[in-house]
Amino acid sequence: MFRLLAHQKSLPFRRCLATHAVSIPSSITRHDWTRQEIQDIFNAPLMDLVFRAASVHRKYQDASKVQLCTLMNIKTGGCTEDCSYCSQSSRYSTPTKASRLLDIEPVIEAARKAKENGSTRFCMGAAWRDLAGRKRGFERILEMVREVRGMGMEVCTTLGMLSPDQARQLKEAGLTAYNHNLDTSREFYPQVITSRSYDERLSTIDAVRDAGISVCSGGILGLGEKDEDRVGLIWEVSNMSEHPESFPVNALVPIAGTPLEKNEPVSYHTLVRTIATARVVLPSTIIRLAAGRNTMPESEQAMCFMAGANAIFTGEQMLTTPCSPWDEDKAMMDRWGLEGMQSFEQVNVARKERPATNTLDETRTKGIASDSVHV
């Protein structure tokens, strides 16, 4: 017994974690979750839920790694959509002023700065409904994608609704991931947005997936939804043909002038509960602790990481709300023994980048596939 313990102790700690982070075949993920199963997970005593989520996280991913992403608004405000939380909608009177699509150079400069500071994913957002009638603007964005990808970074965009052909062009330019949130459950959605349907959102997600681009799709807490809606959102993505490679969990930052300006902030315990449930149901997905993080004390953020969150936005600014700066985030991660993920380190993202390695990865990891269905 002593010899066994001594041997275990001699193993380098990070190596132990890393052995659980070998390539994960898509066959470990379940696509037949019922809403009741997910509701039962969500309703579990919080300590039990966090423990379960932490266990799933350690079994299927390297829990010491956190993806550092930097977000940049490349076209601000003036959006015709009516998302009731958004300061960029032209339907509301908010402090956000509309601007034109940025030139390429300042965007590349911002990506360079993000990379120098340790971010490995750069995400560019444009506030508009879709790319219809924006041929020249789209060409400029394709060039931005090529340039950022050429720097060795993962590159993500969020540009509203996409057609299959636009998704294909983004993929050819080197796009790693596309963000298109479902925001909430199908039932609650019409109370938040009326100018685009839930099914239109799902069509864009299908186009992105079909083009071979990683999907980033999650939601916002604090819209006035109930627990059933938080569960409904997780259920919706869990039943997709592939789980999204990334699931952002945002806490609403109420913006003056929007219909939700007076909403009560979502409770911290609900945030943790949602993250932990998503981690259990989506074991190979990156769970992204997104908007609202900068107001959370470090201990609360650490509990989110324990519950399975493994990506953050870091830098100077989210799209329209404040962000925690790089140096603070790096210091926090050091204190908790966390380190930044490398570009394309996450298995599901890498699989889409290098499809030829897919078969090899699945063969190597066959052993863990059979016992890992019931998470």
Least separation in angstroms between CB 42 and ligand SF4: 26
Angle at 305 between CA 274 and CA 117, to 5 degrees: 125
DSSP string, 219-264: EEE-SS--HHHHHHHHHHHHTSSS--SEEEEEEP---TTSTTTTPP
88 is an interface residue for ligand SF4 by CB under 6 A: yes
| Residue 220 is a binding residue for ligand SF4 (CB under 6 A) | no
322 DSSP 8-state letter: B
Closer by beta carbon to ligand SF4, 81 or else 361: 81
Check whether 86 is labelled as a binding-site residue. Answer: yes
Q: CA angle 17-21-22, nearest 5°?
A: 130
| Residue 276: half-sphere exposure toward Cβ, Cα within 13 Å | 29
Q: What is the dihedral of CA 132, 135, 138, 140, to 10 degrees?
A: -160
Nearest alpha carbon to residue 50 among 248, 58, 228? 58
Interface of this chain with ligand SF4, residues 145 to 174, rule: CB under 6 A: 160
Q: Is 83 in the site for ligand SF4 (CB under 6 A)?
A: yes
Q: Between residues 88 and 120, which has the closer beta carbon with respect to ligand SF4?
A: 88
69 marked as binding residue: no
Which amino acids are annotated catalytic?
Answer: 79, 83, 86, 123, 156, 216, 288
81 binds ligand SF4 (CB under 6 A): yes
What span, in angstroms and rounded, lies between the C-alpha atoms of 326 and 202? 33
Question: Which H or E run contains 165?
Answer: helix 164-173
Site string (108-127) toward ligand SF4, x via CB under 6 A: -------------------x
The CB-of-30 to ligand SF4 minimum distance in angstroms stands at 30
Q: Please report whether residue 89 would count as binding ligand SF4 according to CB under 6 A.
A: yes
Residue 16 is labelled as binding a ligand = no
Contacting ligand SF4 within 45-64 (CB under 6 A): none
- Which listed range, 85-93, 228-236, 248-256, 259-267, lies at the site for ligand SF4 (CB under 6 A)? 85-93
Q: Could you list the residues that contact ligand SF4 (CB under 6 A)? A: 79, 81, 83, 86, 88-89, 127, 160
